[in-house]
Amino acid sequence: MKDEHEFFATGDVAWTDADGGISERLLSQDPADGTLTRIARWAPGTTSGHEVIRHEYVEEVYLLEGELTDLTLERTFGPGDYACRPPGMPHGPYVTTGGCTMLEIRYSAR
């Protein structure tokens, strides 16, 4: 289960390297099952790779700033755009030219 947190200033959470041009402010997580809530920041030019993405958890993403292009859909998304992906749903790959920041929530489908 995720840790309990009352309201706190997310700006006090340090940015850490997540992977491949992505940094994160990890707000809450359960290391046992991989569930998390984070603010993810993609640096300009970051890509998710060349393959379509699928995973075993539910993922919700809300774009806060910048732009993110889905190379399969050939569409670019921006601030205020939202996605909810059940386990196994194909999505991406993605690239951002100017960078983007998103709120990402992952949780178990069980």
**Structure tokens, 17:** 């390297």
- Lookup result for tokens 């939202």: 82
- At 43-92, the pLDDT tens digits run 999 999 899 999 999 999 999 999 999 999 999 999 999 999 999 999 99
Over residues 1-55, the pLDDT tens digits come to 788 889 999 999 999 999 889 999 999 998 888 789 999 999 999 999 899 999 9
- Collapsed DSSP state (helix, strand, coil) of residue 39: strand
What does DSSP assign to residue 53? B
- Where do the structural domains in the chain lie, given as residue ranges? 13-107
- The pLDDT of residue 33 is 84
pTM over 0.85: yes
Phi-psi region of 34 (alpha: psi -120 to 50; beta: other; left: phi over 0): left
Q: Which CATH superfamily is domain 13-107 in?
A: Jelly Rolls (2.60.120.10)
